[in-house]
């Protein structure tokens, strides 16, 4: 579980330690983590609420900071995600609708970065772009092996 600062509605320097614990951001300098914090917002989701819905347009990238959620694809099994996991990058990268529902399984605190901020990060942070590519490649391999 990630350590969550005492003032969970604030994004800023207090969050640098938390961001550094997210595997996607591992290895980024404090300067780069500050840039992420500047672009990010916090959102709380009540138990059972939809974080994203299948078919919706992608407006943001999400990193789960605290709590758990279920990723549910039509005709597929639900996959559980938790602190440090992220989602939403595919819809931002290819402008296609969301491919799954993500539902809060209990209260969830998530960091969100909107489309323009996400694009800026990818252009300015090659290490982040490479980490996303590795994740997408792993997901593609898993999907291909399931067929």
Of 35, 33, 34, 82, nearest to 62 by C-alpha is 82
Report the predicted TM-score, pTM, of the whole model to 2 decimal places.
0.82
Residues 76-88: b if buried by 16+ CB within 10 A, e if exposed: eeeeebebbbbbb
Residue 4 lies in a domain: no
For 121, the domain range is 13-137
Residue 124 lies in a domain: yes
Residue 103 lies in a domain: yes
49-90 pLDDT, tens digit per residue, is 999 999 999 999 999 999 999 999 888 788 999 998 989 988
Total tally of structural domains belonging to the chain = 1
Backbone angles phi, psi at 52, to 5 degrees: -145, 155
Residue 3 lies in a domain: no
Q: pLDDT grade, residue 47 (50/70/90)? A: very high
- 128: domain CATH number is 2.60.120.10
């Amino acid at each position: 579980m990630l350590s969550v600062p005492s003032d969970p509605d604030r994004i800023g320097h207090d969050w640098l330690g938390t961001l550094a614990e997210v595997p996607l951001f591992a290895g980024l300098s404090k300067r780069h983590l500050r840039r992420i914090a500047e672009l990010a917002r916090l959102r709380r989701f009540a138990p059972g609420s939809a974080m994203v819905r299948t078919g919706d347009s992608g407006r943001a990238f999400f990193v789960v900071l605290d709590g758990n959620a279920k990723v549910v694809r039509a005709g597929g099994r639900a996959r559980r995600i938790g602190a440090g996991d992220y989602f939403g990058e595919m819809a931002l990268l290819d402008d296609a609708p969301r491919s799954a529902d993500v539902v809060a399984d209990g209260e969830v605190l998530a960091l969100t970065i909107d489309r323009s901020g996400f694009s800026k990060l990818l252009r300015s942070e090659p290490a982040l772009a490479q980490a996303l590519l590795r994740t997408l490649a792993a997901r593609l391999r898993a999907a291909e092996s399931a067929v």
